[in-house]
Structure formats: C-alpha cells, structure tokens
Amino acid sequence: MFSLEGITTNVQDWLLMKFNPTMALTIECVIVILLSISLFALLGLVLVLMERKVAAHIQIRLGPNRVGPGGMFQTVADTLKLIMKEGLVPDKADKFLFNLAPFVVMMVGMLLLAPIAFAKNFQIWDINIGVLYISSVSSLSVIGILMAGWASNNKYSLLGAMRSGAQIVSYELSAGFAVLTIVVLTGSLQLSEIVNAQQNGWWIFKGHIPAVIAFVLYIIAVTAETNRAPFDLAEAESELTAGFHTEYSGMRFALFFLAEYINIFIVCAIGATLFFGGWMPLHIGNWEAFNHIMDYIPSSVWFMGKTFFLIFLIMWFRWTFPRLRVDQLLNLEWKYLLPISLFNLLLVAVIAILGWHF
C-alpha cells in the first residue's frame, strides 16, 4: 500500500549508505526545502482554481472553462502573466521594506509547515511544543502586512494594514483559546501526541459540546486571521482599493496572493489535526470490519481529505455571507467570541479533570 513513511525511510537509508551522516542530513534539508517550495506552488494553482470553481457552483455558473480541460490550466496562465508583468515600486516608498514584506509573509507560511504531520510519521519537525510554536510563528505574519502598508507610502495601503493588524491580533485570542481546548483534553502540546490521542475517536466527536464549540470558534477566528470574506476588511475593494497590497504588482503581488491561500491550507491542516484526527482514519467503536476497511485508506489521503473539506468550508463562507463593517468585526470578537471562548475553556477544564470525555 502507498505510504509516505516508507518513501522517507527508503530515502534516508539510501543517503546514509552513500554519504556520511552530516552530508546526508544536509541533503535531506535541501530536499525538504525544495519539496516545500514545490508544495506551495502546487497548492497555489490548485486552491485558486478550487476557489473559482466553488464560487461558480454556488453562483450557478461555469467558472473558468477555456484554458485547458475544464479550465484547469487557467491558474497556470495567470501565473505566467504575473511572472511576465513588470514589478513597479512607488517613487516615495521605502524600497527595502517594500521588497521585503512579501517574503516575510511567505517565510511565515514555510515555517508553519514544520510541525504539521501530513501522514503517519511524515512531518518535518516533531517538536514537543508544536502548538506553542504554531501560535508564536503565525503571529509574525502581521509584521509583513504592516510592513507592506507602511512602506507603500499610500493611505489606502496604510489603512488596510492597520485594519489587518487590529483584526489578526483580536482574533488570535479566540483561535488560541480554541486550540487550548484540545490541548487540555490531550494533555500535550505535541501535534503527534494530539493525533495519537484520537486513535479511538476524533476530538470533534469524543470531546463533547466544548470540542464542537471550540471548532466553531476556531473556524470563525482563522477565517478572520487569513483576511477572508466576510472578514476581508484589510483589502475591502469598495473602500481601500486592494488594501495593503494596492501598490504591489508582478511577482510581489503574486507572493501576497499565494501567501493567502497557503495560510488557508495551513490553518485548515491544523484544524484537521486538532479536531478531526489529522491522518488518523475514522474508527467507530467495536466495528472491527468497518475499522479494518478504513485502515486500508492511506493516512495521507485521510489528512488531505479533511484539510480540503475545511478549505471548502472557508470558501463557502466567502460566497455566502456579506462583508462586515469594522465595528461589527471587532464587536464580534471582543463582545461575543472571546467571552464564549473563556467560558468554553473553563468548561473543558472541568470535563478533563473529571474525565467525562470518551
């Protein structure tokens, strides 16, 4: 049966046989970097096409259908166009920060890939404080956005960046409390331990009502953190042109555009890991025959299936709900989501102490 774990083991054994341990580790790091960059490029192509097709289906239209079979090469054509476009820098912009900002946003995405388990025993870095690492690194993305808004020397860019900063800092609280709910139930910050704790059932099912509430809070908060509609105030076209990336064009704009979809994939991958068992197959009690059949599906397929289901959910939000005003956006977090998150964390602590979860 197809196994990513087997591939990595075979590659490592071959490298150790051909090279000394230091050289083998160096080559492994280079391979990981190249695979990460390739994954980002592929995800950008797939997710943009998926967004267009989901939007078309919800609005009862065809979507891209000219370039390639079913329009599947439309995003490739768009990428070629962005590569060929000239990248302009405004005269009075801070050129160093202006050029650095897109790379900061992309680097944050690449760093967040490290602790995510894409399949059984298949992750870059199984750090024992994985949840803390993700929470810390993900908060750095706002620096790149603020940098882009300030360096552009454009009032619309600056307003968009300030909105994004306020939005991300606010909704990080609810997302953090939702993640802590699963940490309390598991008793570990290590993502591999969180996945293994769901061997007899995913937390969304066996964590009772607090786990369901935490998932709803998480999906709302990460939608806001990734500046997705209906929380896309940072780049509200009707108010701020394109927000913090108004002055960007060519590949610099492409990096911001790609970073948005990469961040969607990452937050959905984390959500799948925490609430839906990550790469763990669906097992139901003592249904041995059913569970045995589920085990035949590769762990990487389980992980990607759950992740893309959550991505579809976030895309569904965009084409269903109208955009909020800034005051409504912040009121939702500080007056509603944050108090609910605090109460839910207290409730799950009681459940964990008394051992009431399955």
Cα-atom radius of gyration of the chain, to the nearest Å?
Answer: 21
Pick 312 or 121 by higher pLDDT: 312
Q: Are 304 and 9 in contact (CB under 8 A)?
A: no
Buried b (16+ CB within 10 A) or exposed e, 198-220: beebbbbbebbebbebbbebbbb
- Evaluate if residue 306 carries a pLDDT over 90: yes
Q: Which domain holds residue 312?
A: 87-354
What pLDDT was estimated at residue 304? 93
Percent share of the chain, pLDDT over 70: 96
Copy the structure tokens of residue 331: 């009121």
- The gap between the terminal CA atoms of the chain, to the nearest Å, is 31
The tens digit of pLDDT for each residue in 237-257 reads 666 677 788 888 888 888 888
Instruction: Return the residue matching tokens 């839910």.
Output: 344
Using 50, 70 and 90 to split pLDDT, how confident is the model at 1?
Answer: very low
Which pLDDT belongs to residue 340?
95
Model pLDDT, residue 88: 83
Q: What is the pLDDT of residue 83?
A: 87
pLDDT at 2: 54
Q: Residue 137 CB: number of other CB atoms within 10 A?
A: 17
Residue at 134 is within a domain: yes
Q: How many CA atoms lie within 13 A of 275 on its CB side?
A: 28
Number of domains in the chain: 1
| Mean pLDDT over each residue of the chain, to the nearest integer | 88
Distance CA 312, CA 110 (A): 22
Q: Please indicate, yes or no, if residue 52 is contained in any of the structural domains.
A: no
- For the ranges 31-40, 81-90, 264-273, the maximum mean pLDDT occurs at 264-273
pLDDT of 219 over the 90 cut: yes
Assess if residue 58 is contained within a domain: no
* Assigned domain for 338 exists: yes
pLDDT (tens digit, 9 = 90+) per residue, 88-138?
A: 888 888 889 998 999 999 999 889 989 999 988 888 888 889 899 998 998
Reference 33, options 119, 113, 96, 140; nearest CA is 113
The torsion of the CA quartet 7, 294, 123, 30, rounded to 10 degrees, works out to: 30
**pTM for this one?**
0.91
Q: 187: phi > 0 → left, psi -120 to 50 → alpha, else beta; which?
A: left
Domain presence at residue 20: no
Mean pLDDT of 166-187: 91
The CA-atom distances, in angstroms, between 326 and each of 146, 221, 329, 330, 334 are: 17, 15, 5, 6, 12
Q: Is the predicted pLDDT of residue 218 greater than 50, yes or no?
A: yes
Q: Is residue 342 a part of any domain in this protein?
A: yes
* Cis check: omega of the bond before 230, within 30 degrees of 0: yes
Token digits for 228?
Answer: 């997705």
C-alpha atoms less than 13 angstroms from C-alpha of 44 in its C-beta half-sphere:
21
Alpha helices by DSSP H, 4-73:
4-18, 21-58
pLDDT band at residue 342 using 50, 70 and 90 as cut-offs: very high
Is the pLDDT at 21 greater than 90, yes or no?
no
Task: Determine contact, residues 160/146, Cβ cutoff 8 Å.
Answer: no
In a domain, 32, yes or no: no
DSSP tag of 118:
S
Asked whether residue 44 is domain-assigned, the answer is no
pLDDT by residue (tens digit) across 42-69? 998 999 999 999 999 999 998 898 888 8
